[in-house]
């Protein structure tokens, strides 16, 4: 039984009970206090007249004080019952009558995206669609929610996305794709319905529990997205230790040359100059592999990039070259040889970040409130003693993949206090908490809603590079017969492949800091290159 129906039945019982009690009391009062006995039905009539404020007939006035008090009580009871009836019946009716109503169908829809479920994730996706001036229709089952969204300007219709009829009203025949973001089981049902209506419709579903993705595919989903996992991978890509040496290639990181993260101080002589004008390689013998710009990694870095606050470069060179660069430019140089990284939170995002970081040079320490396999330190990441036990005071970076934003904010404050030089990367669940996390001391924050929305856009619009899917850098030693007799500059290695040649191996010697336009490679030379997986594949195809 619904709550409203229970309230109505309770109200009716109250009315009947009040009327009967007052009828008996009035009948006894008229006989005892007024000495005017009358039939019970006559007393009932007077009570009803009083409760409904329609009059009292020939019984008024009353002579006894007790009878007057009883009549006053009856009058007040009547007013109370009338006001209760207004709240119970009239107000809901007015609210329903005046509430905005979403349409059941929209005209002129073509090549649009059908979105089933309104969440912060699909809201970000809708922002992407609006920016692209692409059509969409939001299918919302709840009538009240649909009306509210319609009032706010969303393109929405009322309907159950699991029904064939609702999808047909959403013009599924001319849609370019369908996106389902409700509950995991409902998303699978929507995929089945969509397949029933139109076999060639691209269907994208989102899943909270990544283990259920296979069932979505069985139901007919073309792409199943797990935002929490992707977010973990993206956050791992923001850890400066996310640099991998290709297994078995013998790249001597930390000996002949090192990889390092370089952050410029405002007093640096390079501050405010473009990367081209800084001439880092010519002046200091150090190769710039790429740069983080507002949290996004670019490789190769744009020569016109202005070096300033918030810009960090990934550089490679001999230890003494890096020291000379640091001393000359007043920059902060952080070696990317194996350094300690703390991962707090071991849910879906945390596990995905753990898998991504485990393949890099990071020395991982996992902190979680629960004791299970893979956790090194059990405890609350908001507790300074727990973070101390995890080694935060001498760590290079910390990644907080905590489920609760309030806890993540507090953990960020604690970590920043314990280690002012720590690079802190944080997952945010709500978009409005992102500014708070930055104010708390985080260096990079990514929200689940933003990641999800952009991921959906990247999937639906296959030709658009909307989101960089977790980027890490690999360092690889490789033979390059295609470069024999040519200089690196003449071959335009960086322009053609996106890789940076950081060293040349010749007769057992490692050559770094060379002029790429002057050093001619010989038969038998090997090169050490740095770049993304895609860039290294392009290099191997061109010169390997």
What are the tens digits of pLDDT across the range 296-323? Answer: 667 777 788 877 766 677 777 777 777 7
Rounded to an integer, the average pLDDT of 375-398 is: 92
Torsion of CA 362, 367, 372, 376, to 10 degrees: 60
How high is the mean pLDDT of the chain? 81
Rounded to an integer, the average pLDDT of 62-86 is: 87
For 511-531, write each residue's pLDDT tens digit. Answer: 776 778 888 888 888 888 887
- In whole angstroms, give the CA distance from residue 158 to residue 468: 35
For 496-506, write each residue's pLDDT tens digit. Answer: 888 888 888 88
pLDDT at 467 over 60: no
Could you tell me the strand order of the sheet in which 296-298 lies? 296-298, 287-293, 311-317, 258-263, 332-335
- In whole angstroms, give the CA distance from residue 223 to residue 237: 23
Rounded to an integer, the average pLDDT of 355-382 is: 85
pLDDT at 360 over 60: yes
The 3-state DSSP composition of the chain as helix, strand, coil percent (nearest 5) reads 45, 20, 35
- Give the pLDDT confidence score for residue 463 in this predicted structure: 40
Cβ count near 284 (within 10 Å) = 20
Question: CA 336, 337, 342 angle in degrees (round to 5)?
Answer: 75
Contact 397, 383 (CB under 8 A): no
- Please name which of 96, 98, 211, 197 lies closest in space to residue 139, comparing C-alpha atoms: 197
- Give the pLDDT confidence score for residue 316 in this predicted structure: 77
CA distances to 88, 177, 178 from 459, in Å? 49, 10, 11
- Give the pLDDT confidence score for residue 198 in this predicted structure: 92
Sign of CA dihedral 531, 236, 223, 374: positive
Query: Is 384 exposed, middle or buried, given 0-12, 13-18 or 19+ CB atoms closer than 10 A?
Result: middle
For 390-435, write each residue's pLDDT tens digit. Answer: 999 988 889 999 989 999 999 999 999 999 988 899 999 888 888 8
- In whole angstroms, give the CA distance from residue 329 to residue 267: 8
Residues with Cβ within 8 Å of 372's Cβ and at least 6 positions away in sequence, in order, are 346
Q: How confident is the model at residue 365 (pLDDT cuts 50, 70, 90)?
A: very high
- Selected residue with higher pLDDT from 354 and 244: 354
User: In DSSP terms, which residues pair with 258 in a beta bridge?
Assistant: 317
- Give the pLDDT confidence score for residue 222 in this predicted structure: 92
Sign of CA dihedral 316, 319, 323, 324: negative
The token pair at 163 is 């029904």
The most confident of 82-96, 211-225, 296-310, by mean pLDDT:
211-225
- In whole angstroms, give the CA distance from residue 416 to residue 452: 28
CA distances to 341, 364, 388, 433 from 408, in Å? 17, 19, 17, 10
pLDDT at 470 over 50: no
- Give the pLDDT confidence score for residue 466 in this predicted structure: 34
- Give the pLDDT confidence score for residue 342 in this predicted structure: 92
Instruction: Show me where the domains of the chain are located.
Output: 3-98, 113-225, 232-238+338-448, 254-335, 473-543
- In whole angstroms, give the CA distance from residue 227 to residue 447: 10
- Give the pLDDT confidence score for residue 366 in this predicted structure: 92
The token pair at 235 is 């956050």
pLDDT at 114 over 80: yes
In three-state secondary structure terms, 37 is: coil
For 161-186, write each residue's pLDDT tens digit. Answer: 999 999 998 888 899 999 999 999 99
Rounded to an integer, the average pLDDT of 123-144 is: 85
Contact 233, 455 (CB under 8 A): no
- In whole angstroms, give the CA distance from residue 194 to residue 172: 8
DSSP count for the chain of H helices, then E strands = 21, 22
Contact 50, 75 (CB under 8 A): yes
For 33-73, write each residue's pLDDT tens digit. Answer: 988 899 988 889 888 888 887 776 668 788 899 888 888 88
Rounded to an integer, the average pLDDT of 355-378 is: 84
Contact 78, 52 (CB under 8 A): yes
- In whole angstroms, give the CA distance from residue 399 to residue 394: 15
User: In DSSP terms, which residues pair with 316 in a beta bridge?
Assistant: 259, 287
- In whole angstroms, give the CA distance from residue 200 to residue 222: 10
- Please name which of 333, 397, 386, 317 lies closest in space to residue 361, comparing C-alpha atoms: 397
| Tokens 């969204």 -> residue | 149
Q: Which CATH number fits domain 232-238+338-448: 3.40.30.10, 3.90.740.10, 3.50.50.60, 3.40.50.720?
A: 3.40.50.720
3-state secondary structure 447-501: EHHHHHHHHHHHHHCCCCCCCCCCCCEEEEEEECHHHCCCEHHHHCHHHHHCCEE
Give the CATH H-level superfamily of domain 113-225: NAD(P)-binding Rossmann-like Domain (3.40.50.720)
Q: Confirm or reject CATH 3.20.20.70 for domain 3-98, answering yes or no.
A: no
120 sits in which H/E element: helix 120-132
pLDDT at 192 over 90: yes
Q: How many Å is the maximal CA-CA distance in the chain?
A: 129
- Give the pLDDT confidence score for residue 58 in this predicted structure: 67
pLDDT at 82 over 90: no
- Give the pLDDT confidence score for residue 101 in this predicted structure: 65
Question: What is the DSSP code (8-state) at residue 292?
Answer: E
Cβ count near 17 (within 10 Å) = 10
Q: How confident is the model at residue 356 (pLDDT cuts 50, 70, 90)?
A: confident
pLDDT at 74 over 80: yes
Rounded to an integer, the average pLDDT of 210-226 is: 90
- Give the pLDDT confidence score for residue 256 in this predicted structure: 60
Could you please state the CATH topology (level 3) that the domain comprising 254-335 is classified under: Alpha-Beta Plaits (3.30.70)
Rounded to an integer, the average pLDDT of 442-455 is: 82
Query: What b/e string do you get for 222-232 counting C-beta neighbours within 10 Å, with b at 16 or more?
Result: bbbbbbbbbbb
Question: CA 365, 433, 429 angle in degrees (round to 5)?
Answer: 60
Alpha helices of 33-64 — where are they, by DSSP H?
40-51
pLDDT at 267 over 70: no
Backbone angles phi, psi at 522, to 5 degrees: -115, 165
- In whole angstroms, give the CA distance from residue 239 to residue 444: 9
pLDDT at 464 over 90: no
Question: What is the DSSP code (8-state) at residue 171?
Answer: T
Q: How confident is the model at residue 249 (pLDDT cuts 50, 70, 90)?
A: very low
What's the pTM value of the predicted model, to 2 decimals? 0.55
- Cα radius of gyration (the chain): 36
Q: How confident is the model at residue 295 (pLDDT cuts 50, 70, 90)?
A: low
Contact 114, 141 (CB under 8 A): no
Lowest mean pLDDT, pick from 113-127, 141-155, 252-266, 309-323: 252-266
Q: CATH number of the domain at 473-543, please?
A: 3.30.70.1450
- Give the pLDDT confidence score for residue 110 in this predicted structure: 82
**What number of CA atoms fall less than 13 Å from residue 293's CA on the CB side?**
13
Backbone angles phi, psi at 128, to 5 degrees: -60, -45
């Amino acid at each position: 039984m619904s709550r409203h129906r229970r309230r109505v039945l309770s109200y009716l019982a109250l009315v009947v009970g009040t009327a009967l009690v007052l009828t008996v009391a009035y009948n006894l009062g008229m006989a005892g206090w007024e000495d005017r006995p009358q039939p019970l039905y006559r007393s009932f009539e007077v009570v009803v007249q009083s409760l409904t404020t329609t009059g009292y007939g020939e019984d008024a006035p009353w002579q006894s004080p007790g009878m007057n008090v009883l009549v006053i009580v009856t009058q007040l009871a009547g007013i109370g019952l009338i006001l209760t009836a207004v709240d119970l019946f009239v107000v809901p009716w007015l609210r329903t009558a005046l509430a905005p109503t979403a349409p059941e169908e929209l005209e002129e829809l073509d090549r649009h995206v059908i979105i089933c479920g309104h969440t912060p994730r699909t809201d970000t996706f809708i922002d992407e669609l609006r920016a692209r001036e692409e059509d969409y229709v939001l299918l919302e089952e709840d009538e009240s929610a649909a009306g509210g969204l319609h009032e706010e300007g969303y393109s929405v219709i009322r309907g159950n996305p699991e029904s064939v009829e609702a999808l047909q009203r959403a013009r599924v025949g001319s849609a370019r794709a369908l996106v389902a973001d409700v509950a995991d089981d409902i998303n699978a049902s929507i995929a089945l319905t969509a397949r029933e209506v139109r076999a060639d419709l691209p269907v994208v579903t989102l899943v909270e529990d990544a283990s259920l993705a296979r069932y979505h595919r069985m139901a007919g989903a073309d792409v199943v997205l797990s935002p929490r996992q992707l977010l973990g991978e993206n956050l791992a890509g923001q850890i400066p230790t996310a640099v991998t040496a290709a297994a078995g290639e013998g790249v001597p990181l930390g000996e002949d040359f090192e990889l390092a993260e370089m952050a410029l101080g405002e007093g640096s002589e390079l501050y405010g100059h473009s990367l081209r004008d800084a001439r880092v390689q010519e002046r200091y013998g150090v190769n710039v592999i790429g740069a983080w710009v507002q949290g996004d990694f670019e490789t190769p870095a744009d020569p016109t990039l202005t070096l300033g606050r918030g810009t960090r470069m990934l550089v490679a060179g001999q230890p003494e070259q890096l020291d000379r660069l640091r001393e000359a430019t007043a920059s902060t140089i952080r070696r990317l040889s194996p350094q300690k990284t703390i991962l707090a939170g071991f849910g879906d995002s945390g596990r995905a970040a753990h898998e991504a970081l485990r393949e890099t040079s990071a020395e991982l320490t996992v902190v979680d409130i629960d004791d299970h396999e893979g956790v090194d330190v059990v405890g609350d990441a908001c507790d300074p003693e727990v973070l101390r036990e995890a080694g935060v005071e001498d760590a290079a970076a910390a990644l907080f993949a905590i489920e609760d934003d309030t806890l993540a904010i507090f953990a960020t404050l604690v970590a920043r206090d314990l280690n002012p030089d720590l690079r802190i990367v944080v997952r945010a669940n709500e978009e409005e908490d992102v500014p708070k996390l930055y104010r708390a001391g985080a260096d990079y924050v990514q929200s689940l809603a933003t990641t999800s929305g952009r991921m959906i856009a990247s999937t639906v619009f296959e030709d658009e590079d909307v989101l960089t899917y977790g980027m890490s850098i690999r360092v690889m030693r490789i033979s390059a017969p295609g470069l024999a007799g040519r200089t690196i500059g003449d071959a335009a290695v960086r322009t053609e492949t996106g890789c940076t040649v950081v060293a040349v191996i010749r007769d057992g010697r490692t050559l770094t800091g060379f002029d790429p336009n002057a050093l001619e490679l010989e038969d038998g030379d090997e090169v050490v290159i740095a770049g993304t997986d895609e860039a290294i594949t392009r290099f191997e195809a061109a010169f390997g």
